[in-house]
A and B are shown apart, each in its own frame.
Chain A
Amino acid sequence: MKIARLFLLAGLLAGTAAAQDGMEMRHLVRNDTIVLGANPLTSASRTAFYTARGFPAAAIRPYAEACGFSFGMQNAGASGIRTRLADWHVVGADGRRIAFRPPEAWDIDWGKAGLPPAARIAFRWAQFQSENLFEPGDWIMGMATLEMRPAVPFRLVARYRDEKGNHEIVLDQLACAD
C-alpha cells in the first residue's frame, strides 16, 4: 500500500497541479440573502464523471442526456433558509413550466439496474438535494436534471423559505448544454 501511494503521489505531483477547483459559475444571481449560481452540464462531462465512479455508460445515458445543471447556493443572510427542489421549476420560452426530476427517482432507476453501492453513493451526494437547510454562511453545490428539455431560453425560478416567509430568486437566459 505504501509503495502504491508513492507512485500515486509522484503522479499527483507531476500531473495535476493545474486542476480546476470546479467552483466557478457561468450564471449567477444574488440578493440580500441568497447567492445562486448555475452551470449547464454537458452530456460528455456527466458521462465522464459518473463512469469514473462505477456507472456503465449505458446506465448513466438517460441522466447525462437530460437537461442538467450544477447549482451552487449560499446563504448570505443572517438566518437559516430551507429549499425544496420540488418548489423549483423552469419556464421555457414557450411559457411551459417544467419541474426537476428528484434525485430519489434516479436512485430508484439505479437500484433496478443493480448498480454498485459506491456508484449510487457518489451519485446521491453529487446531486442538489431534494431538501436543504442552509445556516448563515453555509453553501451547497449539486447537480440536478429537468423532467424534459425546455424551449430556450428559459428561466429558473428557485424558491426558498426563511423566517420571514417564502421567497424566490430567478436566473434568466438559461439554456441546456449539449
Chain B
Amino acid sequence: MKSFSTSSPAPTERRRFLAGLLALAAASSATWAQGRGMTPLPAAAAAPALRLRDADDRPVDLARYRGRVVLVNFWATWCPPCRKEFPSLARVRKLFKPDEFEVVAVNVGEDPETAFSFTGITDFPVVFDRAAQTMADWKVRALPTTFLVDRQGRLAYRATGGREFDDPDIVALIRALAAVE
C-alpha cells in the first residue's frame, strides 16, 4: 500500500457566518479547484424520467427537449460547489441556440423561495425535487452531479462535483453531441 503524508499549518482564521453555509467554509489556507471534464457513459442508456415542477408550479418534462442536448444539473443552495458552478450554467447556455441545447437545474430538497434567494431569475428551468426521488432515480451519489443527455434522450456524460460548464472541453462535448443527427 502506498502512503502519502503532509500537513499544512493553520493560518489566520477568517470566520463569518452566512446562512449556515459556513459550516463548509470555516477557515482557509488552500483554495479548492473545480473539477475538470465529464465522464462518458458508454452504455448510452435512456435517461430516467424527469417530470418535476418549477417555482411557478408549472410541469417540466425532460421529454419535451428531445432533439436537443440537455444539461441536467442536480444541486442545492447549501452545497458550496453547486453555488460556485451555478453561474456557468447560464454562461454555457448562451453559447448555443435554444433549439440545440437546454439546461435544466434540479434543486434537491428545498423550496422555491430558498432556491430563488440564490438563483434570482434564470433563463433556464429550475425545477424542484423536494423528496429527492428523481435524484435517486438518476442514481446521483453526491451533489452537485451533472449529466449531458443527448438528442435522443440518452445519458451521454456525467460529472460529479463542481465544474465550470463553459470550459472549452465541456463546450466541445456539447457541440459534438449537438452535431449528431
Contact = CB atoms under 8 A, between A and B. Distances in A.
Interface of A: 1-2, 4-5, 8-9, 11-12, 16, 19-31, 34, 37, 39-42, 44-46, 48-53, 70, 72, 74, 117-118, 121-122, 124-126, 129, 132-143, 155, 159, 165-174, 177
A140 B142 contact: yes
Contacts of A49: 20-24, 78
B6 A172 contact: yes
A111 to B, nearest CB: 15
Given A24-B30, A166-B1, A167-B1, A121 B35 contact: no
26 contacts: A23-B25, A23-B32, A26-B27, A29-B5, A29-B8, A39-B26, A48-B20, A48-B23, A52-B19, A52-B78, A72-B32, A118-B110, A122-B78, A125-B109, A132-B141, A133-B141, A137-B38, A137-B159, A139-B160, A139-B162, A141-B81, A168-B3, A170-B4, A172-B5, A173-B7, A174-B7
B179 interface: no
B24 A52 contact: no
A107 to B, nearest CB: 13
A174 B22 CA distance: 19
B25 to A, nearest CB: 4
A13 B19 CA distance: 15
B163 to A, nearest CB: 8
A133 B17 CA distance: 31
Given A11-B117, A126-B78, A141-B24, A26 B112 contact: no
Contact of A26 (B5, B26, B113, B132): B26
Contact of B7 (A117, A140, A172): A172
Contacts of B22: 20, 22, 45, 48-49
Contacts of B109: 118, 121-122, 125
* Consensus secondary structure, chain B interface: loop
A28 B37 contact: no
A174 B131 CA distance: 36
B60 to A, nearest CB: 16
Given A39-B26, A137-B39, 9 more contacts: A5-B121, A20-B21, A25-B31, A30-B4, A53-B78, A126-B23, A129-B141, A139-B32, A169-B5
A137 B34 CA distance: 9
A117 B131 contact: yes
A167 B3 contact: yes
B36 interface: yes
B116 A8 contact: yes
Nearest to B39: A135
